[in-house]
Amino acid sequence: MEPRTVLNEKFFIVTRGKSRKGFCRGCIGRIESETKRGEFVGLLYGGNSNPGTPKNGGLVKIEDMYPLTRHQAQLLLFISSASRRLELLCNPQLFSAICELSQDDLVVVKHKNGHLPGLVKNLMQIGRKDNKDDLYMLAFEVEFVDTDHTLSSKKPPLSLFSAADIIQVVPSYSVPLGLQWKDAICGGLNRKAVTRNSCIANIGSCAQPATENRTEQSLIQNQSLSSVPLEVGSMVEVVSNSGITVYGVIRWLGVPGGKTGEWAGIELDYDVKGCSDGMYGGQRFFTCKEKRALFVPITKCSPDGRFLSASTGKEILKSTDTTPVPPYEDTDEDVPPIPESEAPFLLVGKMKGIQGHINSCYLDATLFSLFSSSVTLDGICKKPADTDQPITCTLRAIVNRLRRQGFVPAESVMNFRTLLGCDTFRTEEKDPEEFITVLFQKVLCTEPLLKLRSKQETSQGAYTFQIFLEKEQMGQIPTVQQLMDTSCLSGDLKFETMPSCLIVQMPRFGNKYKMFSHIIPSLKLDITDLLYNSPRECFVCGRLAEYECLQCLPDRKLQPGRIKQYCTTCNAQIHNHPSRQGHSPSALAVPVEVPTDTPVPRHTMELFAVLCIQTSHYVSFVKYGSDAHSWIFFDSMADRCGDDQSGYNIPEVRACPELGDFLSQPEEELSQANPSQAPELVRRLLCDSYMFLYQSSTTCFESQTVRSLKCV
């Protein structure tokens, strides 16, 4: 197989596919040649000693990579984390702006002290170039801006940042056009001359100066924005004299003591250094989280540009009427689940997820949990009895919009609720299990997800698994694994087949009764011992088990809460003990063709979502990737804009990495942990869990990279 030489220099980043001969997701390489099979032979960059020196990388398919310029490759190479490289690529506008940065451009960078503004001063070449194939890594030297929006006179050492550390770029032409903190300042920063020679005078090879047309268009838009009336509940943006834009909702309007003219108290979308919790001048005007309250003259506010019509400059929808809905173009193409690298950017924030309306939280939380990031149900969604049914098309449109845009307005969900066929689904509170049954039976027209076999050898189907047991059978804070094992053994139930999706309902009834004050999630659910007529290993010696004993389940000397099954020899020895002689072990149905000394494979499922309820309100936690910290929290009615008659709910998705930290502890430590000392969201999950959603480990997250970075 003679490869064809590729003459032009071509760099790339691997965006999907399993690790193959040195290449994996996030790796940077350079094409050397192409095989007759259409695969590329490439060099791999990123070694520990000198990341800029290439080594043989092997073969990579064209559909598994994304092309890069040399400049882009050098910028990404300085980012040591492969996942952070992909996250940056998933924000094409930001990455493009970073690639075009010029000297003295204003940026906002991630720093140990928070998000700080600064001026780009130099583009630094990192590493060494010993031969023609080597690449310099590129990093930015940034000079921070003081809190009074001027450059520091002390001339501290310049800080070095990678492209992934830059979270906002403010082009030079936009600074004079933004609304300013100080009326006297119209040119942005008091920029001083660079006293140090720059490595590269003009950083971006494609950097473009501001054009007269662009300036004129921006001025016209700013003039039109100034005429839009603002009131309590309006979503606004404020631009400081340094050009940094912050977004929030007006919570108070009035004249604070010692000031003249009308001022606005704004609750910001995120923490900002120097902001309060609603206090100003020693007086409280409203209450919010610390570092979220900003007070400015109303003249410094303008309508949130993220929800404006670009052509007219008017608000798409008034805050007191309906939701500000970003434009969306529906297509017939099905969208795959949101990849792990893209989820934080697409989903996290306010007006994200599914918008709640009139007791819809049970449905919103369930749909978000099932379809935002899980691949398990995609096959089911594409095989309904009649794909042309209006209700099926409506559901697919909701799922596609959520995955493509990260937001579904209440109107879309209300149409779906209307098509469910019962008026109570439009107006009344429901339990998720009732909706799940209707969803799979009537909308998706699928067979039950579970096939259960009872002691009487009768088989029955179910869409969810309800935990039934006596409280005395468990400890004070049980795990889902312990609840599952005990419930199945107590009811003598087994799964006929390995389910692709398992929805486990906790022993509680709505918000009125719960058997356990706290429940510990099991990240992996081992159902090997719950499968009917499947080989199982002896609890003691590991050989093929032939007996099972329910009475041994709570035995404190034999790991209480674990299912106990034994081979013939161990069964006799275990039950010779005086405390177990009264037990009644039952014989297992052992497949004849399985040798007694064959290792038994384990069948596990992975947790991908948790539904919780508190005071009749459902929310959800979703694990959107394989990383332990890839958790988000979703509330379809986290906030409200306007009153009950004419306002709308504001859904919110929050990153929840602290849940990953908590659940990464050993099971022994989790069982002894004090839930009241856990972070807020972790405590909420432990106390309010209602349903745990699991998917088969064999399919878990394998298809999440199907949506390659073609969107870049």
CA–CA distance, 687 with 546 (Å, rounded to integer): 38
- Scored b (16 or more CB within 10 A) or e, 594-612 reads eeeeeebeebbbbbbbbbb
Cβ neighbours of residue 344 closer than 8 Å, sequence gap 6 or more = 87, 632, 655
Q: Which tokens belong to 350?
A: 């306010």
CB 26 within 8 A of CB 340: no
**DSSP H or E run through 347:** helix 343-347
**DSSP H or E run through 411:** helix 410-419
Catalytic residue among 361, 612, 641, 656: 361
CB 350 within 8 A of CB 269: yes
Cβ neighbours of residue 324 closer than 8 Å, sequence gap 6 or more = 235, 304, 307, 315, 316, 317, 351
Distance, CA of 408 to chain centre: 16
Q: DSSP character for 531?
A: B
**E strands, 359-447, in order:** 407-408
CA–CA distance, 204 with 112 (Å, rounded to integer): 27
CA–CA distance, 193 with 196 (Å, rounded to integer): 9
CA–CA distance, 519 with 612 (Å, rounded to integer): 11
Q: What's the per-residue H, E or C state across 349-395?
A: EECCEECCCCCCHHHHHHHHHHHCCCCCCHHHHCCCCCCCCHHHHHH
Active site (annotated) includes residue 90: no
CA–CA distance, 710 with 677 (Å, rounded to integer): 44
CA–CA distance, 698 with 486 (Å, rounded to integer): 25
Backbone angles phi, psi at 263, to 5 degrees: -120, 160
CA–CA distance, 619 with 46 (Å, rounded to integer): 42
Q: DSSP character for 580?
A: G
Q: Which of 419, 500, 409, 534 is nearest to 693 (CA)?
A: 500
CA–CA distance, 619 with 690 (Å, rounded to integer): 10
**E strands, 615-660, in order:** 617-623, 631-641, 648-655
Catalytic residue among 357, 518, 603, 617: 617
Q: Which tokens belong to 55?
A: 């080594």
Q: Residue 223, SS3?
A: helix
Active site (annotated) includes residue 361: yes
Considering only CA atoms, give the Rg of the chain.
29
Q: Which residue has 């609304």 as its token pair? A: 179
Q: Which residue has 């980012």 as its token pair? A: 79
Q: Which of the residues are catalytic?
A: 361, 617
